[in-house]
């Protein structure tokens, strides 16, 4: 076994990675957090303009709160809905500061292995510590030993392409300067890019709905704007979400607002469209479907086609992942987007997330693989259980209690029969929190 004096290595200093560290610190376990960005919560900062659809009461880890309150930190209003930037400023930055030197930024993990063993070797494998191969922001490299690894690196850095088969569509790379894999930020450079433009939003999950709301609201929407919603399925159907039936009201309001924008004529809806190519024309871009349909005259495209995990740096360790979702095999049936909404996920902990390598876990959004609708509160319970197991408290590790808010669109097979956007808690672009739609003059 790896020496007990070695730390637990957590990959990623996002909300779930920092929560993992907080849980381990509370249990007097040594931990280091390796973050490839130059600051903690680097990915959240990239969508800081987006207002989350989970309230503050569901966005803080109990272990982190206990540590922070000891410093005089005051919990934000539990009923309020922060933006990503507010989540960082009011919670994640203070937590990272409290964890101090345990959080190492500018450290990209490029490989994880057992010491002196590649994927093939059985002999003595379980007795060896983990070795993490790390590239620092100054270009130097280092090897970091750990007794256990919790991968909380998320999926934000690996967006799905526009192409319907999971590969970039023909011409997609060449048009990259006019394709946004994210959500327009009205306060940044998006106003110059999207205001008054002809924009297609491809996808049907929370990220797509968020982008559509931004593009049909001031300041991005002007009388010259054209917004096209491109959906793979044959009809929009429950892509509008559960509305008033959703137990997260702000999440339900996403679809309600987009439906109103469609009814008001602010959004053109194109269904049954699976992208095969992105073509450049004199008049802009054209999207071409696998069956020859065309959406022409576009200036910008927002790809809200979901995310996938980066498994490249785990190629020398032994994983047991579902061959479709790329999620832990025991978790996959409960999060399969063909069968479930996030409200139907069963509570789960360390034993569901553990990998055959031993003392290696996928947690947070990374644990969901290609499945959407991850919620922060799911991740907090995951890492509470994992930390308890690593501390040897198996009774606490197995005592899983978590009730997730229902989406209001529970159903059987085919609930998500096309791409769905990840985004966990993401809701609307920052601004007033009222749920009514203001239709701009055209």
Please give the chain's pLDDT, 442 residues, in tens: 567 899 999 999 999 999 999 999 999 999 999 999 999 999 999 999 999 988 999 999 999 999 999 999 999 999 999 999 999 999 999 999 999 999 999 999 999 999 999 999 999 999 999 999 999 999 999 999 999 999 999 999 999 999 999 999 999 999 999 999 988 987 766 778 999 999 999 998 888 999 999 999 999 999 999 999 999 988 776 666 655 555 566 667 788 899 999 999 999 999 999 999 999 998 899 999 999 999 999 999 999 999 999 999 999 999 999 999 999 999 999 998 877 654 567 789 999 999 999 999 999 999 999 998 789 999 999 999 999 999 999 999 999 877 666 554 444 433 334 444 333 344 444 443 332 222 233 2
CA distances to 82, 370, 429 from 432, in Å: 11, 32, 9
Cβ pair 181, 43 in contact under 8 A:
no
Indicate the pTM of the whole model: 0.89
**Residues of 176-189 as b/e, b for ≥16 C-beta within 10 angstroms?**
eebbbbbbbbbeee
Length of the chain: 442
Would you call 208 helix, strand, or coil by DSSP? helix
State how far the Cα of 194 lies from the Cα of 196, in Å rounded to an integer. 6
Cβ pair 254, 421 in contact under 8 A:
no
Give backbone dihedrals phi and psi of 146, rounded to 5 degrees, phi first.
Answer: -150, 150
């Amino acid at each position: 076994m790896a020496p007990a004096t070695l730390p637990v290595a957590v990959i990623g200093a996002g909300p779930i990675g920092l929560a993992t560290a907080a849980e381990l610190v509370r249990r007097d376990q040594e931990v280091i957090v390796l973050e490839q960005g130059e600051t903690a919560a680097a990915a959240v900062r990239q969508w800081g303009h987006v207002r989350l659809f989970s309230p503050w009461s569901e966005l803080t880890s109990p272990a982190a709160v206990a540590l922070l309150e000891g410093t005089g930190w005051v919990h934000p209003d539990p009923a309020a809905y922060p933006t990503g930037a507010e989540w960082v400023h009011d919670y994640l930055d203070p937590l990272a500061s409290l964890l101090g030197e345990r959080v190492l930024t500018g450290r990209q993990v490029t490989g994880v292995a057992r010491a002196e063993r590649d994927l093939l070797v059985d002999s003595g494998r379980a007795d060896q510590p983990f070795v993490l191969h790390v590239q620092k922001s100054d270009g130097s490299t280092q090897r970091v030993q750990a007794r256990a690894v919790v991968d909380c690196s998320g999926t934000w850095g690996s967006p799905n392409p526009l192409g319907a088969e999971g590969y970039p569509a023909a011409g997609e790379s060449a048009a990259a300067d006019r394709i946004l894999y994210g959500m327009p930020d009205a306060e940044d450079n998006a106003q110059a890019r999207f205001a008054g433009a002809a924009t297609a939003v491809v996808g049907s999950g929370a990220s797509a709905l968020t982008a559509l709301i931004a593009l049909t609201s001031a300041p991005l929407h002007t009388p010259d704007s054209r917004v096209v919603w491109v959906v793979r399925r044959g009809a929009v159907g429950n892509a509008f979400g559960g509305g008033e039936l959703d137990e997260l009201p702000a999440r339900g309001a996403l679809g309600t607002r987009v439906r109103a924008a469609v009814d008001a004529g602010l959004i053109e809806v194109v269904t049954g469209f699976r992208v095969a190519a992105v073509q450049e024309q004199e008049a802009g871009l054209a999207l071409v479907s696998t069956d020859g349909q065309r959406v022409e005259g576009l200036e910008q495209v927002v790809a809200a086609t979901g995310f996938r995990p980066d498994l490249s740096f785990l190629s020398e360790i032994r994983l047991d992942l579902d061959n479709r979702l790329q999620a832990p095999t025991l978790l996959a049936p409960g999060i399969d987007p063909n069968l479930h909404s996030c409200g139907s996920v069963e509570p789960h902990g360390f034993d569901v997330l553990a990998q055959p390598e031993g003392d290696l876990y996928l947690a947070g959004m990374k644990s969901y693989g290609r499945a959407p609708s991850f919620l922060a509160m799911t991740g907090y319970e995951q890492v509470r259980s994992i930390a308890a197991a690593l501390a040897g408290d198996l009774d606490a590790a197995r005592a899983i209690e978590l009730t997730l808010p229902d989406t209001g669109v529970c159903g059987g097979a085919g609930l998500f029969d096309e791409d769905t956007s990840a985004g966990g808690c993401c809701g609307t672009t920052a601004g007033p929190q009222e749920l009514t739609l203001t239709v701009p003059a055209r």
